[in-house]
Amino acid sequence: MQRLYDFIRRHPTGVDTFWAVILFGFSGLQITAAAHDPKQASWGIHVLVALGMSTAVALRRKVPEKMLLLVIAMGLVQLALNVNPQIHDFAMLVIVYTVASAGERWASRVALIGGLCAAPLAHFRWMDTGGINTATEKVFFVIIMTVPFVLAWVLGDSMRTRKAYFAQLEERASRLEREREAQAKVAVAAERARIARELHDVVAHNVSVMVVQADGAAYVMDTSPEQAKTALETISMTGRQALAEMRRLLGVLRTGEHQEAGEYVPQPDVQQIEDLVETVRGAGLTVDFKIEGTPRPLPSGVELTAYRIVQEALTNTRKHGGPDAGASVRLVYFDDGLGLLVEDDGRGAAHEMYEDGGADGQGHGLIGMRERIGMVGGTLDAGPRPGGGFRISALLPLKPAH
């Protein structure tokens, strides 16, 4: 049964043609029975009208407007050549319904007007039939014969409204699906960017410290074993810190939530910047650290952003500042935000690493800084100092970005 239903849906014109053939066959029987009536038009005219009406049924869904005009033409032929209403006139009801449900608006209006006029015109053309004499009977008869046309049009117009409603629902569902896919892609891109920032901050900072300490340990291994031992201890401590942060990051990726206990460590905050500075000092970089204003708790996103900016800035100083570079870190608490200023007196970075945020792919650290600060609605200024070295200045507002 389902296969038959699917076949009918795939071949609507074929189904309509089948019913058109049935209609033409019954019309032929009726025409044959009335062939000897002298008051009727010739047999050929009857066949022509029946064929036209059947054709309209066969092609009603393919070209509904043209079939409406064909039915109107056949109706006028019936009126002009005295072809009495026959079973093939059922095509009028079919075409009125079809045009009202799927045709152009003008064709739907024409079909309604034609349906309202069909019964009165037929009655006045063949008013001597049926034994109807009084005016009341005639009016009642016309109304009764008009009702099927009105019902056909109303049913077709209701079907048009329903089709439009379902099409609107399908379009809305399709649009929502596209929006969900777009949001999913944006979310995936944002998550990839976040993971890239976290990995860069964790790996670049800690590995650079370990490399510097390993080089120093190898240099003084023979002449100063104590300094080498201290450097190795720093490498071990830094490696453990990096491992802990990597575990935290992997834990967040697995669960989608920050772990506050167990093997995962809390998110870095502003208070840990001083520990970060001490670690960098232990790696051989001279850092001057000052806090201005009254320290107070800040939103977690602002605290993490501030920590990562200082971490990345000091990492860049070690990478690009040269062996004798020194740095200074300033944290300024304002009423409505937190200011950061990290400067060094080294050689600075190459021009392409800070121009346009490292758009050529070499300045991933600055790109990460701009992304982090943009997420909290802050501003960043990075570039060379007038007297040499490099400067990073950031302002983080306390209110979240909208």
pLDDT in tens, 16-46: 899 999 998 998 888 887 666 666 667 788 8
Q: Which of 50-64, 138-152, 219-233, 294-308 has the lowest mean pLDDT?
A: 219-233
For 161-184, what is each residue's pLDDT tens digit?
999 999 999 899 889 888 888 887
Query: In the chain, how many H helices and how many E strands?
Result: 11, 5
Q: pLDDT at position 360, please?
A: 37
Work out the pLDDT band at 358, boundaries 50, 70, 90.
very low
Beta strands in 293-336 (DSSP E): 326-333
State the number of CA atoms in the 13 A half-sphere of 222 facing the CB.
1
Which of 129, 155, 171 marks a domain boundary? 129
Burial of 288 (0-12, 13-18, 19+ CB in 10 A): exposed
161: its two tokens: 């409204």
d(CA 394, CA 309): 9
Percent of the chain exceeding pLDDT 90 equals: 24
**Residue in this structure with the two tokens 């995962």, named with its chain if needed:** 264
* Cβ atoms of residues 232 and 217 within 8 Å: yes
Q: Which of 34-43, 69-78, 83-92 has the lowest mean pLDDT?
A: 34-43
Cβ-based neighbours of 232, under 8 Å, separated by 6 or more: 213, 217
* Cβ atoms of residues 68 and 55 within 8 Å: no
Q: pLDDT at position 94, please?
A: 93
**Could you tell me if residue 394 is inside a domain?**
yes
Helices (H), 34-134: 43-58, 64-81, 90-102, 105-125
**Could you tell me if residue 362 is inside a domain?**
yes
CA 398 from chain centre, in angstroms, equals 32
d(CA 368, CA 391): 16
**Could you tell me if residue 16 is inside a domain?**
yes
**Could you tell me if residue 384 is inside a domain?**
yes
Work out the pLDDT band at 9, boundaries 50, 70, 90.
confident
**Could you tell me if residue 183 is inside a domain?**
no
CA 205 from chain centre, in angstroms, equals 38
Specify the DSSP class assigned to residue 402. Answer: -
Domain extent for 369: 269-402
**Residue in this structure with the two tokens 């510097």, named with its chain if needed:** 212
Strands 286-292 and 326-333: parallel
* CATH code where residue 374 lies: 3.30.565.10
State the number of CA atoms in the 13 A half-sphere of 302 facing the CB.
22
d(CA 287, CA 281): 6
> If DSSP codes are grouped into helix, strand and coil, which group holds residue 337?
strand
**Could you tell me if residue 66 is inside a domain?**
yes
For 191-216, what is each residue's pLDDT tens digit?
677 667 666 666 666 777 777 777 77
Beta strands in 156-311 (DSSP E): 286-292
Q: pLDDT at position 252, please?
A: 58
- Positive or negative, the CA dihedral 104, 14, 76, 120 is negative
What is the radius of gyration, based on Cα positions, of the chain? 44
Q: How many structural domains is the chain composed of?
A: 2
Which of 81, 112, 129 marks a domain boundary? 129
**Could you tell me if residue 198 is inside a domain?**
no
**Could you tell me if residue 157 is inside a domain?**
no
Cβ-based neighbours of 21, under 8 Å, separated by 6 or more: 54
Strands 286-292 and 379-384: unpaired
* Cβ atoms of residues 87 and 117 within 8 Å: no
Q: Which of 63-67, 131-135, 220-224 has the lowest mean pLDDT?
A: 131-135
Which of 71, 100, 129 marks a domain boundary? 129
d(CA 156, CA 169): 20
Q: pLDDT at position 221, please?
A: 79
Check whether 132 has a pLDDT greater than 60: no
d(CA 180, CA 206): 39
